[in-house]
A = this chain, B = another copy of it.
């Protein structure tokens, strides 16, 4: 069992997702700045996992902070972590959760503050695994027996504290006795599908076929794909979904070929402050991610690049959104608000 992120001996231990699957290497972060760098450089990625990393980053920051001016230091820690990546809302959700706890603890002895902040970060991690299992449980019925599911990017154990969102649904369907195989988009430029999804499904013995992103349309048209399952980085109140770039393309092709398109994500991925996906900030990443693969140039020197890390899939293409609290169907303004307000 792969461990995405753990709190071990006053440090945050991450599997280095930039090196998988060629190397299975764990790194330990001893300061919040190291955690921030790990998020920025995608050593850890995936919206729920980023949330856990941010929570642990705040705890680590408080653990290493001086007793003097603690308020100011907590602000700096939170602000620094909040600036690592703009799109996944789980990052801000986790930081806000830690900040609110700190507000409640202010004035207590620093040892106590540290203890509770670390406890909370570990709780965020444990809850995330439990949430993924609930998402899997809620979504498993949507995956037909003897079917092939298409997924994009990695919304698996590596994108969460464990078990995964989209891949959690697949795992739960398999655990329920269904025969499910997976088509995995390789997901350029960072190759999360080829490097991470294939790798973690191999470990579970779930049959997986790797394709390049531009083959998804061909296979959706072929009738071989029963449904699409993806994760999300931010979901607006109307059900518009920001997720890894290419998700919109898969959603349009799924609809064109009458294949159901499911999004699996925790409630913490909802951003009900945004009426639609149009206002979700889309991160632009470095050109070298596109022009180079593992450091090797695949384009001429001086190539101009666009590298949006995410795109927005309008709600009209989304068949259902699977959360730990239940499955939301259109119209999403209503179903998501009800789920968000309900108790687990």
Residue of A152, A211, A215 contacting most chain B CB atoms (<10 Å)? A215
Contact B219 A306 (CB under 8 A): yes
Q: Which residues of B contact A3 (CB under 8 A)?
A: none
Contact A212 B245 (CB under 8 A): yes
Contact A195 B299 (CB under 8 A): yes
Q: Which residues of B contact A306 (CB under 8 A)?
A: 183, 209-211, 215, 219
Q: Any chain B CB within 8 A of the CB of A293?
A: yes
Measured CB to CB, the closest approach of chain B to A143, in angstroms, equals 20
Contact B198 A213 (CB under 8 A): no
Contact A303 B245 (CB under 8 A): no
Docked pose: A245 CA to B298 CA in angstroms: 19
Contact A209 B304 (CB under 8 A): yes
Docked pose: A245 CA to B302 CA in angstroms: 27
Residue of A21, A207, A219, A249 contacting most chain B CB atoms (<10 Å)? A249
Docked pose: A10 CA to B299 CA in angstroms: 33
Measured CB to CB, the closest approach of chain B to A284, in angstroms, equals 11
Contact A297 B213 (CB under 8 A): no
Interface residues of A in 202-230 (CB under 8 A from B): 202, 207-219, 221
Contact A249 B214 (CB under 8 A): yes
Partner pick for A290 among B152, B211, B249, CB 8 A cutoff: B211
Partner pick for A253 among B252, B290, B298, B303, CB 8 A cutoff: B252
Q: Any chain B CB within 8 A of the CB of A186?
A: yes
Partner pick for A214 among B214, B218, B297, B300, CB 8 A cutoff: B214
Looking at chain A's contact residues, the main secondary structure is mixed
**Oligomeric state, in copies:** 2
Measured CB to CB, the closest approach of chain B to A156, in angstroms, equals 14
Docked pose: A188 CA to B186 CA in angstroms: 10
Q: Which residues of B contact A290 (CB under 8 A)?
A: 186, 194, 210-212
Q: What is the interface size of chain A, counting residues whose CB is below 8 A from a CB of the partner?
A: 53
Contact A291 B253 (CB under 8 A): no
Partner pick for A202 among B183, B214, B248, B300, CB 8 A cutoff: B300
Q: Any chain B CB within 8 A of the CB of A286?
A: no
Interface residues of A in 293-330 (CB under 8 A from B): 293-294, 296-300, 302-308, 311
A–B complex contacts, Cβ < 8 Å, 25 sampled: A21-B300, A22-B297, A152-B214, A186-B299, A189-B212, A191-B299, A194-B291, A199-B299, A208-B303, A208-B304, A209-B304, A210-B290, A210-B299, A210-B303, A211-B305, A214-B246, A215-B246, A215-B307, A215-B311, A217-B246, A217-B311, A218-B245, A218-B249, A256-B256, A293-B298
16 further A-B contacts with Cβ under 8 Å, apart from A21-B300, A186-B298, A212-B307, are A21-B299, A152-B214, A191-B298, A194-B290, A209-B306, A210-B291, A211-B305, A212-B245, A212-B246, A214-B245, A215-B246, A217-B246, A218-B245, A218-B311, A221-B248, A249-B249
